[in-house]
């Protein structure tokens, strides 16, 4: 919302109040510490309105006064900032490799508590959700006495989410279907709750806190057991008609290729996911190709890990470097098509593609240059994610924070 629009908006008083509160919260998020008169200038609201709204935010303990701005020539103005003890935001990720990650942040987005625990990803969803709830309760118990009540909660999942009901419709690598996660979370925690695809949240995480900061048109690629994606357009996450946008992993690259977990053949993820990389390495080991990996894992692909691959690549292991180059080639082919379609200014490689990115970036960039329209390729940078394995939980934090900034009344009333 442009600041000037506020002046002309008429009608529902409480809606106007909510919009104005949101305008102040958003400016504070970007510019704090800031004075009331600076807020008036930035929002286009008059000083009396700003003072009364700021008082409301102080009464709800979202905002606090700190010191004076002595830079000007007039009377020093009181500076305002968000109160870190206004409340907590909890964000979790269910990871299809068998981990649940939970963070809790204070109201100034500093992480004050975190844990990452295993769960049996071959078990039924009920068991995993019980584990998730135990960890969420631990986060609440560990933080509420110091940092205030839980204001909202987000959970990232490796699958398709129906945004109307917050139901996890399908998580191919967990083999879960129709899990009403949003309903269960609300029953248990009764607060502002968001459930979203992990790659969508990770894209938000990189947009708010990482590599895509200040970048309004970005594409995030999340590499794991599968491949997911999140598209940021005009500073907003693109959801598509029913919330499923960004399922990049299931673009067909080879119509006669391997069977994918989605039921189709030759999807991008069958060529560039963690399993695809591990399989290529395993096949090369089976062909007796020399590598420092086979000594360690006795040639068993179950023993392969991304960090072992990274170490081997760094040590100059020819087999690993060749497999990563082949993978980078397929990554570049997919990225070139996506760049032609979306014309992003930034492509962010997350997950395993970030961990192994330093060995793949040159080939990816080369493929992009050769295959995308040269004007689009020129406008796009390809970079590695900055939030690493935290991207999704940081995005969950951003999602809740964004909702509070847009509608402070939802948690104050
Ligand atoms: Zn597929």
CA 236 to ligand 1 centroid distance, Å: 26
Domain range for 74 is 5-82
Q: What 3-state class would DSSP assign to 4?
A: coil
Residue 275 has pLDDT above 60, yes or no: yes
Among residues 49, 82, 115, the one where a domain terminates is 82
Residues 331 and 245 both lie in one domain: yes
pLDDT band at 411 (very low <50, low <70, confident <90, very high): low
pLDDT tier for residue 1 given thresholds of 50, 70 and 90: very low
110 C-alpha to ligand 1 centroid (Å): 37
Q: Which two tokens stand for residue 175?
A: 């083999």
Provide φ and ψ at 383, rounded to 5°.
Answer: -135, 170
- pLDDT at 8 exceeding the cut of 50: no
Q: Are residues 200 and 222 in the same domain?
A: no
Shared-domain flag, residues 183 and 289? no
Per the prediction, the chain carries an average pLDDT of: 89
- The string of pLDDT tens digits covering residues 118-167 is 998 888 899 999 999 999 999 999 888 888 889 999 999 999 999 888 99
What is the pLDDT, as a whole number, of residue 122? 83
> Among residues 66, 82, 98, which one ends one of the domains?
82
The tally of domains found in the chain comes to 3
The top-scoring range by mean pLDDT among 12-16, 106-110, 292-296 is: 106-110
In this structure, the answer to whether residues 242 and 347 fall within a common structural domain is: yes
Judged against a pLDDT cut of 70, whether residue 302 lies above it is answered with: no
Note whether 285 and 253 are same-domain residues.
Answer: yes
Question: Hey, what are 207's tokens?
Answer: 């947009």
Q: Domain containing 158 — which CATH number?
A: 3.30.420.40
User: How far is it, in rounded angstroms, from Cα 34 to Cα 30?
Assistant: 10
| CA 50 to mean position of chain CA atoms | 33
pLDDT of residue 409 exceeding 80, the answer is no
- Centre of ligand 1 from the C-alpha of residue 260, in Å: 5
Q: What is the reported pLDDT for 72?
A: 64
Q: Which residue has the tokens 């919330």?
A: 243
**Tokens 């006795």 map to which residue?**
298
Chain-centroid distance of CA 221 in Å reads: 11
**Cβ burial, residue 118 (10 Å; 0-12/13-18/19+):** exposed
How many other C-beta atoms lie within 10 A of the C-beta of residue 30? 8
pLDDT for 22 equals 87
In a shared domain, residues 77 and 184? no
Centre of ligand 1 to C-alpha 262, Å, is 4
Tell me what pLDDT residue 4 has: 46
CA of 258 to the centre of ligand 1 (A): 10
Q: Quick one: tokens of 257?
A: 């290729």
Distance 274 CA to ligand 1 centre (A): 14
Tell whether 272 and 342 lie within a shared domain: yes
φ/ψ (deg, to 5) at 256: -105, 15
Portion of the chain with pLDDT greater than 90, in percent? 66
Label residue 299 by pLDDT band (50, 70, 90): very low
The SS3 call for residue 385 is coil
Question: Do 256 and 284 fall into the same domain?
Answer: yes
Average pLDDT over residues 261-287: 93
Residue 293, pLDDT score: 85
- Asked if residue 50 and residue 118 are part of one domain, the reply reads no
Tell me what the mean pLDDT of segment 106-119 comes to. Answer: 93
Sign of the CA dihedral with 249 first, then 252, 258, and 260 last: positive
In angstroms, the Cα distances linking 299 to 62, 288, 302, 305, 379 are: 56, 9, 9, 12, 43
Cα-to-centroid distance, 174 and ligand 1 (Å): 14
Count the Cβ atoms, other than its own, within 10 Å of residue 110. Answer: 9
Contact 388, 203 (CB under 8 A): no
Are residue 159 and residue 44 in the same domain, yes or no? no
Q: Is the pLDDT of residue 274 over 90?
A: yes
d(CA 189, CA 151): 10
Q: Are 126 and 187 in contact (CB under 8 A)?
A: no
Indicate if the pLDDT at residue 392 is higher than 90: yes
* CA 10 – ligand 1 centroid, Å: 49
Domain check: are 332 and 405 in the same one? no
CATH number at residue 44: 1.10.10.10
- Say how many Å lie between the CA of residue 317 and the centre of ligand 1: 31
What would the two tokens of residue 342 be? 């979306």
Q: How far is the CA of 366 from the centre of ligand 1 (A)?
A: 26
CA 144, 146, 149, 154 dihedral sign is negative
Considering only residues 331 and 25, tell me which one the structure prediction assigns the higher pLDDT: 331
Beta-bridge partners for 229: 221
* Shared-domain flag, residues 234 and 333: yes
370 pLDDT above the threshold of 90: yes
285 near 299, Cβ under 8 Å? yes
- Residue ending a domain, among 82, 98, 120, is 82
CA geometry: angle 310, 312, 315, nearest 5 deg: 110
Return all residues near 20 (Cβ < 8 A) that are at least 6 apart.
6, 43, 45, 49, 53
Average pLDDT of the residues in 51-78: 83
Separation of CA 395 and ligand 1 centre (Å): 25
* Dihedral sign (CA 276, 279, 281, 283): negative
Alpha carbons 369 and 371: distance in angstroms, whole number: 6
pLDDT in tens, 177-230: 999 999 999 999 987 899 999 999 999 999 999 999 989 999 999 998 889 999
CA 261 to ligand 1 centroid distance, Å? 6
Whole-number Å distance, alpha carbon 125 to ligand 1 midpoint, is 22
Q: How far is the CA of 390 from the centre of ligand 1 (A)?
A: 25
């Amino acid at each position: 919302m442009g600041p000037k629009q506020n002046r002309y908006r008429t009608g529902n008083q409480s809606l106007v109040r909510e919009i104005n509160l949101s305008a102040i919260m958003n400016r504070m998020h970007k510019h704090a510490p800031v004075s009331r008169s600076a807020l008036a200038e930035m929002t286009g609201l008059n000083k009396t309105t700003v003072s009364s709204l700021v008082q409301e935010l102080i009464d709800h303990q979202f905002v606090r006064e700190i010191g004076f701005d002595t830079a000007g020539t007039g009377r020093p103005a009181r500076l305002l900032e968000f109160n870190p003890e206004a409340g907590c935001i909890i964000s979790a990720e269910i990871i299809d490799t068998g981990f649940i990650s939970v963070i809790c942040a204070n109201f100034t987005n500093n992480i004050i508590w975190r844990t990452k625990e295993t769960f049996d990803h071959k078990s039924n969803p009920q068991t995993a959700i019980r584990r998730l709830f135990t960890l969420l309760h631990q986060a609440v118990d560990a933080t509420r006495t110091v940092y205030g009540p839980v204001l909202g909660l987000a959970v990232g999942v490796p699958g398709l989410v129906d945004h109307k009901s917050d139901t996890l419709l399908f998580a191919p690598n967990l083999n879960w279907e129709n899990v009403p996660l949003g309903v269960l979370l609300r029953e248990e925690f009764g607060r502002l709750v968001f459930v979203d695809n992990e790659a969508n949240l990770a894209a938000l995480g990189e947009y708010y806190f990482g590599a895509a900061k200040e970048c309004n048109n970005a594409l995030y690629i999340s590499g794991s057991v599968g491949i997911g994606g999140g598209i940021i357009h005009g500073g907003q996450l693109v959801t598509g008609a029913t919330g499923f946008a960004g399922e990049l992993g299931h673009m067909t690259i080879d119509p006669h290729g391997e069977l994918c977990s989605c039921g189709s053949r030759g999807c991008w993820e069958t060529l560039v996911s963690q399993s695809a990389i591990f399989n290529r390495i395993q096949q090369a080991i089976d062909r007796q190709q020399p590598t420092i990996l086979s000594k360690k894992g006795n040639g068993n692909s179950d023993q392969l890990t991304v960090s072992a691959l990274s170490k081997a690549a760094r040590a100059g292991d020819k087999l690993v470097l060749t497999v990563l180059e082949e993978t980078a080639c397929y990554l570049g082919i997919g990225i070139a098509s996506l760049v032609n379609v979306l014309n992003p200014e930034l492509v962010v490689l997350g997950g395993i593609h970030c961990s192994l990115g330093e060995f793949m970036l040159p080939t990816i960039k080369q493929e992009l240059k050769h295959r995308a329209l040269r004007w689009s390729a020129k406008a796009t940078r390809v970079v590695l994610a900055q939030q690493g394995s935290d991207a999704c939980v940081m995005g969950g934090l951003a999602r809740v924070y964004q909702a509070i900034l847009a509608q402070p009344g939802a948690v104050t009333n």
